[in-house]
Structure 1
Amino acid sequence: MPFLLEPFAVEFFVRALCGGMLVAVICGVVGTWVVIRSMAFLGEAIGHGMLPGVALATVVGAPVLLGAALSAAAMSAAIGLLQRRGRLSYDTSIGLLFVAMLSLGVIIVSHSRSFATDATALLFGDILAIRPDDIAMLLVAAVVTVGVASAFHRSFVATAFDPRIARTLGLRPQLAHVVLVALVTLAVVASFQAVGTLLVVGLLLAPAVAARAWTTRIPTTMLGASLVGAAAVLIGLFASWHFAVAAGASIATAAVLLAALSATARSLLTRAVRRHHPVEHPESTSPRPASPDAPAVALPERTR
């Protein structure tokens, strides 16, 4: 028992746990839609698109989250603008801006000679450095995420099913897509301090994948993803405390392992159910006698 309770006596561990739980809720809600809409590449691109803003904010001494938010918002707006005004596909637009923003961030980092110690926290997060005001901001972000996702739930569902039907129903699929991209941006920025720019997609995808192995209902998937994300945060923080490893990487690794464990358990359960309750094949519908002694059915004579 002391092995488990020891970290809770340290204030920064409790703050990290509280902040991580809020991040798990945000990523659980948004990550469900990321998985349903196959937007993983967008989340990865926005995560790397934060690099220039974060690097520039660090160099000039501005708030890091402000730089991350502005850079991620610029990335999202540029993707939408390039797709609407240009002749490029959605994934091509994301790919080009992904490389451009990442390159710009590396240029800023390489230009600053005092950036070496901050690079690790930038790329892999520093959840143990979360402060009370950061927790307050994450709480606001969680409330906004849940509220917006609830308000646009019908639009998100209809747009994911068929944008034409959504348009016919007056649900404005284009606005729904913009709002969803904004939620992905918010989730990525909120997760930045926990897992950094390189591992942020782990918290978006893995918990949702783990939850979807057991349910197809969207609200249930969101709840399950939030719980899996919270478990990953707890496991990752414990691993960081007891084994002296990076907290952000431990959290992302725990999330992926929980997703793999969930998929394996679901597969084993399905096989066990099929083994004990085999599916009976329906009998052939071709006519046949009820018993060997039953008279054969007379076939009609062939017309000439």
Structure 2
Amino acid sequence: MEWLTAPFEVTFVQRALVGGVLVSAIAALAGTWVVLRGMAFLGDAMSHGLLPGIAVAALLGGNLLVGAAVSAAVMAAGVSAVGRAPRLSEDTGIGLLFVGMLALGVIIISRSQSFAVDLTGFLFGDVLAVGEGDLVTLGVALALALTVTVLGHRAFLALAFDARKARTLGLRPHLAHALLLGLLTLAIVASFHIVGTLLVLGLLIAPPAAALPWARSVHGVMAGAALLGVSATFCGLLLSWHLSTAAGATVAAFAVAQFFLSQLAAGIRSRRARPVPDRA
């Protein structure tokens, strides 16, 4: 029991756990729609698009969350703009924005040698540095994510399964897509401090994808994803403490491991449920 509880007797690990729990809930709300709509590449591009804003905020001594939010908003606006461009597939536009924003961030970083040493924290997270102010910000972000999810649930559901049906029902799919981008942006901005911009998809996509084979509704996927995210946070922090590994990366790796275990278990269940052919 001491092996399980000793790390969480330390104040900064307790804050990291609470922060991870809040982020897991936010990521479950947004990540479920990302998985259902097949928007993983967009989520990856959005997470990398944070880097220029973070770099500028750090160089100017500003708030990193504000810088990340501004950068993510620019990225989301760019995705919406290129999505309407004729003769250009959405994936092509997202890929170009992805590389462009990432390159811009690296250029900004390269202008300051002293700032380059902090790059690892931005790319891979610094969950053990979460403070009380960060927890308040995450609590506000969770409340906002819940509000958007509840108000947009019907439109998001129709958009995920049949965009044309959403239009006939008068649900304004373009507005719903914009709100979904906003929810995704909120989740990424809230999560980058925990697992970094490179590993944010670990908490955003892995838990919902792991919960999907076992849930019977969208709400079930969200609840399962939140529970899996919380367990990944707890186990990741525990392992990182005893193994002296990077906390954010360990949390993300554990979340991905849960996905593969879920897929393996779902495959075994499917084979057992398959009727045995009659050899008579």
Question: 1:7 corresponds to which residue?
Answer: 7
Question: 1:180 corresponds to which residue?
Answer: 180
CA distance in 2, matches of 1:94, 1:280: 51
- Unaligned 5+ residue runs, structure 2? none
1:278 aligns with 2:279: no
Shift of residue 216 of structure 1?
3.7
CA distance in 2, matches of 1:179, 1:145: 11
Shift of residue 92 of structure 1?
1.3
TM-superposition CA deviations, 1:164-190 (whole Å, max 9, x none): 221111111110000001111111111
CA distance in 2, matches of 1:58, 1:213: 41
Letter in 2 for 1:100: G
Letter in 1 for 2:126: D
TM-score of the aligned structures, taking structure 1 as reference length: 0.89
CA distance in 2, matches of 1:83, 1:273: 43
Q: How does 1:59-74 map to 2 (within 5 A)?
A: 59-74=59-74
Question: 2:212 corresponds to which residue?
Answer: 212
Letter in 2 for 1:153: H
The share of aligned pairs that are identical, in percent, is: 52
Question: 2:93 corresponds to which residue?
Answer: 93
Letter in 1 for 2:36: I
TM-superposition CA deviations, 1:218-255 (whole Å, max 9, x none): 00000000111111111111111111100111011000
Larger Rg: 1
Shift of residue 31 of structure 1?
0.6
Q: How does 1:162-173 map to 2 (within 5 A)?
A: 162-173=162-173
Shift of residue 82 of structure 1?
2.5
Shift of residue 32 of structure 1?
0.6
1:52 aligns with 2:52: yes
Shift of residue 117 of structure 1?
2.5
Letter in 2 for 1:54: I
TM-score of the aligned structures, taking structure 2 as reference length: 0.96
Letter in 2 for 1:75: M
Letter in 2 for 1:43: G
CA distance in 1, matches of 2:223, 2:59: 39
Shift of residue 103 of structure 1?
0.3
CA distance in 2, matches of 1:26, 1:253: 19
Shift of residue 9 of structure 1?
1.4
Q: Secondary structure at the match of 1:199?
A: helix
Question: 2:144 corresponds to which residue?
Answer: 144
Shift of residue 273 of structure 1?
3.2
Shift of residue 59 of structure 1?
1.1
**Alignment CA distance shift 1:7-1:86 (3 Å):** same
Q: Secondary structure at the match of 1:278?
A: coil
Q: Secondary structure at the match of 1:62?
A: coil
Q: Secondary structure at the match of 1:155?
A: helix
Richer in helix (by share) = 2
Q: How does 1:191-210 map to 2 (within 5 A)?
A: 191-210=191-210
Shift of residue 280 of structure 1?
7.0
CA distance in 2, matches of 1:145, 1:279: 49
**Alignment CA distance shift 1:279-1:92 (3 Å):** same
Question: 1:123 corresponds to which residue?
Answer: 123
CA distance in 2, matches of 1:40, 1:4: 34
TM-superposition CA deviations, 1:86-122 (whole Å, max 9, x none): 5422111111111100000000111111023311101
Q: Secondary structure at the match of 1:114?
A: helix
1:154 aligns with 2:154: yes
Q: Secondary structure at the match of 1:115?
A: helix
Matched length: 279
Shift of residue 269 of structure 1?
2.2
